[in-house]
Structure 1
Amino acid sequence: MNIADLRKSYEKAELNENASHANPLQQFEQWLQEAIAAEVPEPNAMTLATVASNLRPSTRVVLIKGYDERGIVWYTNYASQKGQELAGNPFAALQFHWVELERVVRIEGRVEKVSDEESDTYFHSRPLDSRIGAWASPQSQVIDGRTVLVTNAAKYAAQFMLQPPRPPHWGGYRLVPDQWQFWQGRKSRLHDRLRYTQDGGQWLRERLAP
């Protein structure tokens, strides 16, 4: 089949100004909870886009671990490619794509590290294997083979036993949104698309052409 001939008609829902929340965080929470309730695969997965110092963008999928009025939180290795890119350019974008609900959420803003206390609390809530893995993986670095990871995991498991501390190179980031976009697929490619931007401390809600 010619990939250019693939088509889908989006007809499951609609999104209009009167039915949407005035606060984008509330709209996001509603959609996220609906995605969870619908049991879509990995509703907490989001694409993170960063830009390197040479202006080349890169993306990867990370998992949301918290959200509130301060922003969207995830955790990772600070020495990874995304960590290095965020150190040089602290602006990033996130995207959720809930295919089964025909919905997309885009979020843009400045990224900051969460506090050490927040990172410690989350790290110690993780399964033991995941805590050891944070030590074992030199994320984004070239390695000779999987044996490197297995050997590192065994070494740190023996060193730390059941109480591995949080690595100094591992912790959380928070994206502080200054723009949100909510996209709901509609028939005939006339999709619903609402954008929220900061306007004097308030959120300005506007409809964009799809």
Structure 2
Amino acid sequence: MDQQKIENLRADYTASSLSENNTKADPIKQFEAWFAEAEAAKEPEFNAMNLATATSDGRPSARIVLLKGIYPDGFVFYTNYLSRKGKEIAKNPVCALTFFWPSLERQVRIEGVLEKVSKEQSEKYFHSRPKSSQVGALASPQSQEIAGREILEKKWNDLAAEYDDKEVPKPSFWGGYIVKPRMIEFWQGRTSRLHDRIVYKKIDNKNWKKVRLAP
């Protein structure tokens, strides 16, 4: 693509505004309100979030995962504990999440600490998934090199046949994490790039400080 064309890509944001007065005292409740509005707006994959992790020496990596739970103390997703992100989390349990809902001209950024959810919670969610996805979790050595897709497909087919008439066991290497936030920023696009940014910072176990940032 022509470089000048890329430089000229821009949009003016006029959909809404955001102020300290029209945001809730609890950022989790504020997130739930925006999440519901994203669903109502029919944003595709409105629970998709960018998850950024880092190695113990600070080398970052990021990928899209799906939010699977909103709780008073944080945000839950599920994955393979032996994947790249799982290994990074084991050594450096801090992360950042980003949600982007284009039709609403909104973004949410979250920074926090990761903890595994209970085995019971992971079991319950695992068995609520389609059986094909359960088999996929068992079949895939996530983030490891494989010689070809046919190896993965054969493993899936073999396991699907093995568990055709019985329950798929949750792998020990698969389960959930909860992101316990220390900072949550709500970003609303505004005209002339004078965007609204309202940030909540955790000041103790129960309380948050709410501030406005310059765009």
User: TM-score scaled to structure 1, two decimals?
Assistant: 0.98
Query: Does residue 112 of structure 2 align to residue 112 of structure 1?
Result: no
- Quote how far apart the aligned CAs of 1:36 are: 0.3
For residues 89-108 of structure 1, what are the alpha-carbon distances to aligned partners after superposition, in whole Å with 9 as ceiling and x for unaligned?
A: 00001110001110000111
For residues 57 and 150 of structure 2, the distance between their equivalents in structure 1, rounded to whole angstroms, comes to: 33
For residues 58-86 of structure 1, what are the alpha-carbon distances to aligned partners after superposition, in whole Å with 9 as ceiling and x for unaligned?
A: 00000000011121000000000000000
The residue that corresponds to 2:209 in the other structure is 204
Amino acid at match of 1:196: Y
- Quote how far apart the aligned CAs of 1:154 are: 1.3
The residue that corresponds to 1:39 in the other structure is 42
The residue that corresponds to 2:70 in the other structure is 67
- Quote how far apart the aligned CAs of 1:42 are: 0.6
Query: Does residue 167 of structure 2 align to residue 159 of structure 1?
Result: no
SS of equivalent residue, structure 1 residue 120: helix
Percentage identity across paired residues of the two chains: 52
Gaps of 5+ in 1: none
SS of equivalent residue, structure 2 residue 175: strand
For residues 156 and 62 of structure 1, the distance between their equivalents in structure 2, rounded to whole angstroms, comes to: 25
For residues 99 and 202 of structure 1, the distance between their equivalents in structure 2, rounded to whole angstroms, comes to: 30
- Quote how far apart the aligned CAs of 1:159 are: 2.3
Match of 1:183 among 162, 184, 187: 187
Amino acid at match of 1:76: T
Amino acid at match of 2:139: A
The residue that corresponds to 2:141 in the other structure is 138
The runs of at least 4 consecutive aligned structure 1 residues that moved more than 2 Å come to 158-162
Query: Does residue 198 of structure 2 align to residue 194 of structure 1?
Result: yes
For residues 80 and 198 of structure 1, the distance between their equivalents in structure 2, rounded to whole angstroms, comes to: 30
Amino acid at match of 1:203: W
Match of 2:54 among 51, 54, 62: 51
Worse overlay, 158-167 or 47-56: 158-167
- Quote how far apart the aligned CAs of 1:133 are: 0.2
- Quote how far apart the aligned CAs of 1:52 are: 1.1
The residue that corresponds to 1:99 in the other structure is 102
Amino acid at match of 1:4: E
Amino acid at match of 1:207: R
For residues 17 and 137 of structure 1, the distance between their equivalents in structure 2, rounded to whole angstroms, comes to: 46
For residues 150-170 of structure 1, what are the alpha-carbon distances to aligned partners after superposition, in whole Å with 9 as ceiling and x for unaligned?
A: 111012112222410100000
Query: Does residue 10 of structure 2 align to residue 3 of structure 1?
Result: no
Match of 2:125 among 100, 117, 122: 122
- Quote how far apart the aligned CAs of 1:53 are: 2.5
SS of equivalent residue, structure 2 residue 133: helix
Worse overlay, 159-168 or 91-100: 159-168
For residues 170 and 127 of structure 1, the distance between their equivalents in structure 2, rounded to whole angstroms, comes to: 15
Q: Tell me how large the CA RMSD over aligned residues is.
A: 0.9
For residues 54 and 108 of structure 1, the distance between their equivalents in structure 2, rounded to whole angstroms, comes to: 18
The residue that corresponds to 2:84 in the other structure is 81
